[in-house]
Amino acid sequence: MQAKNLHLIVGLIAIIVALAILSLMVGPAALSPRAALAGLFDGEGVAGIIVRSIRLPRTLLALLIGATFGLAGAALQGLLRNPLAEPALFGAPQAASVGASFVIAYGLAGATSFAVPLAGIAGALLSIGGLVAISGRRASLTVTLLAGLALASFAGAATALILNLAPTPYAALEIAFWLLGSLEDRSIDHLIIATPFFLASWLLLALNARAFRALTLGEDAAASLGVDIDRTRIAVVIGVALGVGAAVAVAGSIGFVGLVAPHLVRRRVGSDPARVCLPAALMGAALLLAADVAVRLIPVNPNATTIELKLGVVTALIGVPFFLAMIFRERQLLAGAPS
């Protein structure tokens, strides 16, 4: 079991390294692997500028955001003991979208400036405060879920309202494209803004991984094993909101990675909801990196309003076939599992 787990992790890391190198090579000016790596390590010439200031931040962001989504999905599925849980459940990404859309709509900033991620992160933080205020600190999971649902719906409506009231059609279009998610033109500064939130999120979720394992027995049994259920719930809600909120704030909405990444690795770790966390994060990173390479490779009509396909579109397009394949393979097993 342990050896199998190690193989899985090493395999995923190898895939991520290969995809990262590919990500440094691919773009309007294609580079050979040798040129890309030379540009990365010595930073000289045009290749150096392209790799270090354009493709490296983008690659790192794809890695960090993908890992955050994968881990957040695994953590929420563990907390809720439900394989359908996904990071948007408590409204943090939707709230981040509201903040970012507002800034874009009213021309406070362009879609790639820092004001957008900062407003997005502020939105996500507000959603945490709102969730705790509505549901209370010792709320049951059901109340927390309902409060999250209310917040997510409200945030969705607020984004729609901002789109609706956008001062110009260009602003509306900019928001619409931003909402589809992209890592185009993101710089090292975006990385610096978001990384502390990612790290805080990972730490909070990793510290609660063992509680997810105990929770497989239900809340009473987990509490009797010494798990502080209230503290675990609030830590996971905050951890997910910090990470996913920052991710959405930087890159726009990217769906599916958080839902699908844990499923793709779960069987390999014996369905252990604690042990699934690290492989799910790595799988999330690999998926998002692959999607971000794909958007740069798939040719798009040059007369179109946008140069690249949007990332959120591609994650779903890549993710769904994987997901379907897994469902067909596991249909028998899932049929026997308790709901």
Partner 1 sequence: MSMLKAEDVVVRLGGNLVVDGATFDLKAGELAVLIGPNGAGKTTLVRALAGLIPAEGRIAIENRSLASFAPRERARRIAYLPQGHAFHWPMTVAAVVALGRHPHGDVFSGLTEADRAAVGRALLATGTAPFAARSVTTLSGGERARVALARALASEAPILIADEPTVSLDPRHQLVVMELLARIAHDGAAVLAIVHDLALAARFADRVLLMDRGRLDAQGPAREVLTPERIAAVFGVEAEIIDSGVGPIPILHRPVESPPRPAQ
Residues that bind partner 1 (CB under 8 A): 81-82, 207, 210, 213-218, 220-221, 223-228, 270-273, 333, 336-338
The full DSSP string for 84-142 is T--GGGGSHHHHHHHHHHHHHHTTSS-TTSTHHHHHHHHHHHHHHHHHHHHH-TT--HH
Token duo for residue 278: 């690290």
Nearer to partner 1, 20 or 215 (CB): 215
Token duo for residue 126: 């507000």
CA 157 to chain centre: 22
Nearer to partner 1, 158 or 214 (CB): 214
Nearer to partner 1, 223 or 316 (CB): 223
H helices of 26-91, in order, are 33-42, 45-49, 56-80
Provide, rounded to whole angstroms, the least separation between the CB of residue 19 and partner 1: 29
What's phi and psi for 224, nearest 5 deg? -70, -20
Provide, rounded to whole angstroms, the least separation between the CB of residue 156 and partner 1: 29
Nearer to partner 1, 100 or 276 (CB): 276
Provide, rounded to whole angstroms, the least separation between the CB of residue 216 and partner 1: 5
Residue 275's closest CA among 288, 262, 256? 262
**Residue 4 to residue 77: CA distance in whole angstroms:** 22
Provide, rounded to whole angstroms, the least separation between the CB of residue 219 and partner 1: 9
Nearer to partner 1, 30 or 207 (CB): 207
Provide, rounded to whole angstroms, the least separation between the CB of residue 215 and partner 1: 7
Q: What angle (nearest 5°) sits at the alpha carbon of residue 100, between those of residues 208 and 157?
A: 85
Provide, rounded to whole angstroms, the least separation between the CB of residue 214 and partner 1: 5
Nearer to partner 1, 8 or 61 (CB): 8
